[in-house]
Amino acid sequence: MYDTVSLPYIIERLDGAIKKFTPDEHEKGIGDAWYMHEELQELRHELIYNMGVNSFNRKKETST
């Protein structure tokens, strides 16, 4: 089992994060950047969690 991720899923999640930041309106405040940062942090945590689950499943398969 490999630690793989669906690229279309990652692209969709990145597009969602990018849409939360509008450079033209950024001068009005940092709110958009904060939301984009939160979205990217959530994606990062999700990917790390999934790597851990895959690792756990590999360990479980090799021990049986």
Q: Could you tell me if 51 and 3 are in contact, meaning their C-beta atoms sit under 8 angstroms apart?
A: yes
Domain count, the chain: 1
- Give the per-residue pLDDT at 4: 74
| Domain assignment of residue 30, yes or no | yes
pLDDT per residue as tens digits for the range 27-50: 666 667 778 888 899 998 888 888
Greater confidence (4 vs 9) lies with 9
With bands split at pLDDT 50, 70 and 90, how would you rate the model's confidence at 18?
Answer: confident
Q: What is the mean pLDDT of the chain?
A: 79
For residues 1 and 58, give the distance between their C-alpha atoms in angstroms, rounded to a whole number: 7
SS3 4: coil
Widest pairwise Cα distance in the chain: 58
Structural domain that includes position 36: 7-63
| Domain assignment of residue 2, yes or no | no
Tell me the pTM. 0.66
Task: Tell me: pLDDT of 23 over 80.
Answer: no
For residues 45 and 18, give the distance between their C-alpha atoms in angstroms, rounded to a whole number: 18
